[in-house]
A and B are shown apart, each in its own frame.
Chain A
């Protein structure tokens, strides 16, 4: 498995502002993914972050709202832009390790928008 860290672990933000969440892995990984888990619900994939190319977004998620960067094989960021209370959620990154389909999750970022 991989050791995954996320920053910040939690934040309280005002509506209309933006927050950038960082995901760092201790080893090179093939794929990185960003998920959202709204209160009391399961996980929904936001986008797949590919190193060296643009992220691939799922239906209902757009780049202007959730810009993603993946500058190398161990790091990615997700920005939540122009936030509203509906963006209050836990944001999780996951990684797919080299040579395997196994995916592991970071500890998550708990975001509250007021």
Chain B
């Protein structure tokens, strides 16, 4: 059973701080890794995609991948109240790159 694990939270951070979200996965053959943001009542929105070991930065977001440790993380710098949402980690697996999702981490950024 291929699994993706996330801390469900809530993770509470003050405005302006760095939020750190973590995810581990079980399938060593996984090649692609995604972070989605989901606001309540909305569909998931892709915010980061990474497939190589190391860091990938996009604006205030940095995704970090360590395939040896089967670990992927998302850092959000200068957190804003509008970042308050559930963050879903997803891992692509299999020939069709189907996604297996973690349970999601709820992030709350307070002023």
Contact = CB atoms under 8 A, between A and B. Distances in A.
Interface in A4-51: 31, 33, 41-45, 48, 50
Contact of A105 (B44, B92, B96, B103): B44
Contacts of A104: 46
Nearest to A94: B99
A97 B49 CA distance: 13
Contact of B88 (A1, A43, A44, A107): A43
B32 A101 contact: yes
B43 to A, nearest CB: 4
B100 interface: yes
Interface of A: 1, 31, 33, 41-45, 48, 50, 56, 58, 90, 92, 94, 96, 101-108
Interface string B44-61: 111001010000000000
13 contacts: A1-B46, A33-B98, A42-B103, A43-B90, A43-B99, A48-B98, A90-B43, A92-B43, A102-B34, A103-B34, A103-B97, A105-B43, A106-B43
Q: What's the dominant secondary structure at chain A's contact region?
A: strand
Interface string B17-52: 000000000000001101010000011111001010
Interface in B87-111: 88, 90, 92, 96-104
B97 A101 contact: yes
Interface residues of B, number: 23
A103 B99 contact: yes
A70 B88 CA distance: 27
Given A101-B51, A102-B49, A103-B46, A45 B92 contact: no
Given A31-B96, A31-B97, A102 B46 contact: yes
Nearest to A90: B43
Given A96-B97, A102-B49, 4 more contacts: A48-B98, A56-B96, A103-B92, A104-B46
Contacts of A106: 43
A43 B101 contact: yes
B41 to A, nearest CB: 9
A45 B6 CA distance: 18
